Amino acid sequence: MNTSKRNTPSFKSYNLISYTLTMIGVSLLLCWGIEFLTKEVFRLALI
């Protein structure tokens, strides 16, 4: 019983860390994609 109680918080914190990292990665990809699309649109509009 004690081991299961000890493992639960670390497992939750690990899930939280992995979830946070995933969200950071997704937001970075979204920012890069939006910036790339904006540059492409401006380049096409200027031509």
- SS3 string of the chain? CHHHHHHHHHHHHHHHHHHHHHHHHHHHHHHHHHHHHHHHHHHHHHC
Query: Given this model, what pLDDT does residue 8 score?
Result: 64
Give this prediction's pTM. 0.54
Half-sphere exposure of 11 (CA within 13 A, CB side): 6
Mean pLDDT per 10-residue segment, the chain (47 residues)? 60 88 97 95 87
d(CA 28, CA 33): 8
Give the C-alpha separation, 13 to 9, whole Å. Answer: 6
